[in-house]
Chains A and B, each alone.
Chain A
Amino acid sequence: MNEELKIIWRRFFDWVMGNGPRPENEVIPPEAPPDLPFTRKPKDKYSRFHEPTLRERYNNWLELHGLHIFAILYSAMSILVCVVIVSLLLVTVAELPPFGHERNPANNEVIRRYVEHGGFETGAQNIVAGLILDYRAFDTFGESAVLFTAAVSVLMLLSASRSKNNLSGGGGKRFHSFSHDDAILRNVASLSIPIILMLGCTVVINGHLSPGGGFSGGAILSAALILCANAYGFDHVHSFLNERTFIFSSSTALMIYAMSKGYSFYTGANQIHSIIPKGTIGNILSGGLILPLNICVGLIVACTLYGFYALFSEGEI
């Protein structure tokens, strides 16, 4: 008994001093079971009788269960954070001014001027178009630039890896090939693509007269391009829209936007008379710069959305 206590004390002492287990200090107690498979005394830490230290045990445990525990903790924390944020936001939303009430803070002189004088001041029948492309055209310029930035970044990141793939494994490998004999898809596409294109152009060009405009019309145009690519293969679209034309058309559209709106901003801020006519409300040629700006935005949106689709599915435009 005394011997065992001594051994335990020595172990504790070694552990405190950081010496690690020293088996030579540990006399095997006489009560040790005689049916040990090997009588060899433990010599080093790799021997099978080596008793792992607390730190080693912790490390082993971590190696075995760490990822699992981390996953549990991670999901628990995410759920907790989500619940807290969601409840906080719900409480906040409940406290907000009621939706659509006439005495809301948002019903102020800003909105009144947009609604009452919007048509007269911008020349656009669609007040929203007048708002985003004339009153707050700088924000819309920023939004178009966001699309341009995103398209250019994706083009850079994905097209370079494509060139690497080409070097390593056979030129122009497609990630998935299209069956070119899908008659139903082709026939339906040949019927619907012109209609979709017409609809897109109408939405873009009538942006200042009716609901719609560059962003929605551009999305419809890109749908037609994506359908075309799926029905006839990407090579078909390449014949009129490749990487060069993609960059060229987005840059040109954004450049026209920047130049025309820059002129408008300059004349507005310096109170110089602008030469841009407003036209009569309701005519197709009215609304000052809104019509050309809608066309530019539509072009950028169509190019960007189709570009995303092509880059992510094909790795190239």
Chain B
Amino acid sequence: MIDTFAFNIPFASIFIMMISAILTPILPKKNRFPEKFSCYAIGTVAILSAYLLYSLSNSGQSLSFNFAMGHFPAPWGNELRAGPLEAVLSLVFCVAMLLSLTGNFDSTAEDIPTNRRQIFCVLVNLLMASLLALTYTNDLFTAYVFIEINTIAACAIVAVKESPETARAALRYLIMSLVGSGLVMISICLLYGLTGHLLMQNMHGAIQVLVTTKNYLLPLTVSLALITVGLAIKSALYPFAFWLPDAHGSSTNSSSAILSGLVLKGHIFILIKVFYRVFGLDVIHLLKMDTVIFILGVSAMVMGSVHAMKQNNIKKMIAWSSVAQVGYIFLGVGLNTVAGVAAACLHIIIHACVKPMLFTAAGGLSSVAGHKKGLHELMGTFYINRWAGMGLITGACSMMGIPAFAGFASKLSLTLSSFESRFMFWALAALATSSVLNALYYVPAVIVVLTHNKKTVSSSMGEYQPSKLYKFSMFVFLILNFYLGLFCVPLLRLITRGVNVL
């Protein structure tokens, strides 16, 4: 058994973020206090999650526990659930969020006026609270409520930078995201009508009965399709991903990092929970949703990279690369085995650490080049802001899957898990193609950044010095990257245990 303190952490971390969000608008604006306050709150939650993870991994047999929200037990009241996977994900989400905020502390100040920055912090806190709630929730309707908070806050942090381009991107994102929410809502209503429950394990039991008696198979299929498509729109699976590059490419750097690294992942994790805890792997296989997810994942891996190759704007290129990486995650989910989902979760974690680093690095490089984002305008910027350059190169190597970098670990585990699947050939072919395609656009970007350009370098050499916070965040990002790339086996083992008890 775990101790009382760790037992209360899921509830406490959601409420700390919520209370921090509610307090932030009435805090004094001076000295960037709201932002520092949010960073401290997120840091506290990160420490709490680390403690939860520690006590869960030392707790012996019972790896997960349920936390009743209130005086009434689960089918009547709300419930949270925490296991190793949830603890790891919330720790990674907190760390990535914290580093995205601290790494872009200066560029946030440049992009957003003071009166908006305070509310930007409120939205970031709400986003973090909703991500934690999505991670921990054991109730499908609670998940929907926090998906709503997530949607509104995510669209608002795109629109927070005032320019016509971001307004357009945010509107597009809002419309697509609301379509996704609507589909999820319809699906939850259908499922409630069919099962009479909103709690995940009770829904699971009722669905098993329905499937064995072959009752209501059509509504069940439709609701599964609707919730999958709804969450796929929100997590930017390929054919539904055209809102992503604008939204992620044109917003301010910290928003891009948060959206790409975290917001997509919250929805993917809810989808994994729906597959595992609500429907069950055999039902998913029976209704053939794993094949659909697999095909869409493969197409995302290829098409995301193809679109990324056409981009000249570095942030849009990285944003399209996110589409390809989301494809990797869905490939793992579509394999429909424990190993496949564990590999997908590992990729969620690794992408959540690498993508914010890439966006932070791209932001650092483009601010050196006078806020230009065209690839050719970044020539030689490595020699001016070496921290950002290191970040870009490491991130690029990681995305390509070079050994010892983080991306290699998840690609390796995806490959290994595809051996036991019937889609082995297609999975291996897609992984190989996508890795080559990744290299085709990341290597030119790295070469451009590394090309010595006398004009840029001589004019601003020594003038530019990244702030200490930027250096620190980039350092932590780099450490995380190499740590995940070299020592991912214990993490993968922990995730596999988490998936097993999911």
Question: Which A residues, 259 to 317, have Cβ-Cβ distances below 8 Å to chain B?
Answer: 259, 262, 264-270, 274
Separation of A172 and B115 alpha carbons in the complex (Å): 18
Q: Which chain A residue lies CB-closest to B19?
A: A258
> Bound state CA distance, A92 and B113, in angstroms?
49
A-side contacts of B11, CB under 8 Å = 262, 265-266, 269
List the B residue with the shortest CB-CB distance to A256: B22
Contact B22–A135 (Cβ < 8 Å)? no
| In the complex, residue of chain A having the shortest beta-carbon distance to the beta carbon of B11 | A265
Chain A residues with Cβ below 8 Å from B25 are 152, 247, 251
Which residues does chain A contribute within 8 Å of B383, judged by CB atoms? none
- B122 and A152 form a contact (CB under 8 A): yes
- A150 CA / B151 CA spacing, docked (Å): 10
Question: Nearest chain A CB to B201's CB is how many angstroms away?
Answer: 13
Residue among A156, A161, A163 with max Cβ neighbours from chain B (10 Å): A156
With A and B bound together, what is the CA distance between A155 and B194 in angstroms? 40
Q: Are A92 and B77 also in contact (CB < 8 A) when A142-B146, A145-B149, A160-B162 are?
A: no
Q: In the assembly, what is the distance between CA of A254 and CA of B278, in Å?
A: 32
A 91-123 binary contact with B (CB < 8 Å = 1; else 0)? 110011100000011111111011000000100
Q: Tell me the smallest distance from the CB of B7 to a CB of chain A, in Å.
A: 8
Q: A109-B75, A145-B126 are in contact. Are A138 and B222 (CB under 8 A)?
A: no
In this assembly, does A153 line the interface, its C-beta being within 8 Å of a C-beta of chain B? Answer: yes
Instruction: Determine the chain B residues whose CB is within 8 A of the CB of A121 once the complex forms.
Output: 71-72
A150 to B21 alpha-carbon distance, docked (Å): 13
Q: What chain A residues lie within 8 Å of B7 (beta carbons)?
A: 269-270
Provide the residues of chain A in CB contact with B18, threshold 8 Å.
141, 145, 258
Contact across chains for A139 and B78 when beta carbons are under 8 A apart: yes
A204 at interface by CB-CB < 8 Å: no
* Closest beta carbon of chain A to B221's beta carbon, Å: 9
B23 touches which of A92, A139, A142, A251 (Cβ 8 Å): A251
Q: Which of B120, B156, B194 contacts A97 (CB 8 A)?
A: B194
Report how many residues on chain A are interfacial, defined by Cβ distance under 8 Å.
57
Partner-contacting stretch, out of B52-60, B185-193, B424-432:
B185-193
Report yes or no: B148 in contact with A248, Cβ–Cβ below 8 A: no
Is B474 in contact with chain A by the CB < 8 A criterion? no
B69, CB-defined interface residue at 8 Å: yes
A152-184 vs B: 1/0 string, CB under 8 Å? 110111011101000000000000000000000
Q: Which residues of B contact A (CB under 8 A)?
A: 4, 7-8, 11, 15, 18-19, 21-23, 25-26, 67-72, 75-78, 113, 115-116, 119-120, 122-123, 126, 129, 133, 139, 141-142, 145-146, 148-149, 152-153, 155-156, 159-160, 162, 186, 190, 192-197, 206, 216, 218-219, 222-223
Shortest beta-carbon contacts, A-B, top 3: A142-B145, A153-B156, A105-B196
A/B interface sample: 23 pairs, CB < 8 A = A92-B222, A96-B190, A108-B197, A139-B139, A139-B145, A141-B18, A142-B133, A145-B129, A152-B122, A153-B155, A156-B120, A160-B116, A160-B162, A163-B115, A247-B25, A254-B22, A255-B19, A255-B22, A268-B70, A268-B71, A268-B77, A269-B11, A270-B8
Q: A-side interface residues toward B, CB under 8 Å?
A: 88-89, 91-92, 95-97, 104-111, 113-114, 121, 134-139, 141-143, 145-146, 148-150, 152-153, 155-157, 159-161, 163, 247-248, 251, 254-255, 258-259, 262, 264-270, 274
